[in-house]
Amino acid sequence: MAYTISEFAEKTGISAYTIRYYEKEGLLSCIERKNGRRVFKDEDFFTINVIIHLKNIGMSIKDIKTYLDLYRQAKDTTEQRQAIILRQKKSLEEKIFSLKNKLQILQSGEMYYQKMIEFN
């Protein structure tokens, strides 16, 4: 089935502006055009879902493009795609570690002020 950009945007919950941006960045490629208008197919829903999931885990547009380009290649790129996922996982683990340290500092401050309140 074929969808206009507004239909595709409505079904995915992503704005037409964002869809155009993803196309411009090369994330959504091979979008057909009829009379100068974008035509989306059922397969494009899979791609947009991959983009959404990768963005939700904090992956950059550049890395998402690399991942999708590898996926679209005819040869097996499983190990390369896994490396991208593992790199993102490591980055997220580092952020979690940093956030845990910040939380610990805040908890110490919270305890300090709680004791100050109790003694006054």
Domain of 107, CATH number, reads 1.10.1660.10
The pTM for the full model equals: 0.82
The reported pLDDT for the residue numbered 74 is 74
Task: List the domain range (segments joined by +) for residue 114.
Answer: 2-119
Number of structural domains, the chain?
A: 1
* pLDDT string in tens for the chain (120-residue length): 889 999 999 999 999 999 999 999 999 977 777 788 888 999 999 999 999 999 999 999 999 999 999 999 978 999 999 999 999 999 999 999 999 999 999 999 999 999 999 998
Report CA 89 to chain centroid distance, whole Å: 13
